[in-house]
Chains A and B, each alone.
Chain A
Amino acid sequence: DQQVKQNSPSLSVQEGRISILNCDYTNSMFDYFLWYKKYPAEGPTFLISISSIKDKNEDGRFTVFLNKSAKHLSLHIVPSQPGDSAVYFCAASVQGAQKLVFGQGTRLTINP
């Protein structure tokens, strides 16, 4: 039972344009969400997070949006740069569980 789903295995975007990565979840108890970025042969690195009391969180070029009624979150990258080419994982947790549940990942390719 996949509680966190990233339905797009890959995404290709032109440099300078907006990249939108999507994530859906089924567990209504999830109240904290994170995005991680992973380059080949490296460990995932934390990118940005959002609590369920918010619907938007910004950090520079990265913005995460949360739609609780639709159980959907998205990561927007504006403008996209070649260094953004990586695999992106969304993750979710329940208050007090101290565990994360990850999606399958989306490979983002930024084309010059």
Chain B
Amino acid sequence: DAGITQSPRHKVTETGTPVTLRCHQTENHRYMYWYRQDPGHGLRLIHYSYGVKDTDKGEVSDGYSVSRSKTEDFLLTLESATSSQTSVYFCAISDRRQGARETQYFGPGTRLLVL
């Protein structure tokens, strides 16, 4: 299994509060991703990173920001949590070596409930 951890694994918060989720990898992979999983929608990309301090938006980035100051850590921040951000959040990593394609490996997930 790829060395990916997510913290916290579960969180309950109130509307309007800031929330930060952490993804940590020990694989030294260049690419890191944040997804959310919701019933009927599958996995949707929020933001991704292609290197330290290099990030870009995914398809559902509104209300989220990210930061990557070290290769191993990718943080997802909800500046002011809303009930629509109640979801399960997954971090993934990949490493595009020569001849390889973009197979991603996922962390265990963080279940977030916004009341």
A75 close to B (CB within 8 Å): no
Number of A residues with CB within 8 Å of any CB on chain B: 26
Q: Which of B14-22, B64-72, B76-84, B95-103 contacts A (4 or more CB under 8 A)?
A: B95-103
A32 CB contacts on chain B under 8 angstroms = 101-102
- Cα A79 to Cα B112 in complex, Å, equals 37
A25 close to B (CB within 8 Å): no
Interface size class on chain B is 20 to 34
- Cα A93 to Cα B90 in complex, Å, equals 18
- Cα A89 to Cα B42 in complex, Å, equals 7
A34 close to B (CB within 8 Å): yes
Selected from A4, A36, A42, A99, the residue in CB contact (under 8 A) with B102 is A99
Selected from B31, B48, B90, B96, the residue in CB contact (under 8 A) with A44 is B90
Contact with B along A31-44 (1 / 0, CB 8 A): 01010100001111
Question: Quick check: B42 and A42 within 8 Å, CB to CB?
Answer: no
Question: Quick check: B101 and A43 within 8 Å, CB to CB?
Answer: no
Task: Give the 9 A-B residue pairs with the shortest CB-CB distance, closest first.
Answer: A43-B106, A102-B43, A104-B42, A102-B42, A44-B106, A32-B101, A43-B108, A105-B42, A98-B102
Please report B residues at the A interface, Cβ cutoff 8 Å: 4, 31, 33, 35, 40-45, 48, 50, 58, 90, 92, 94, 96, 101-109
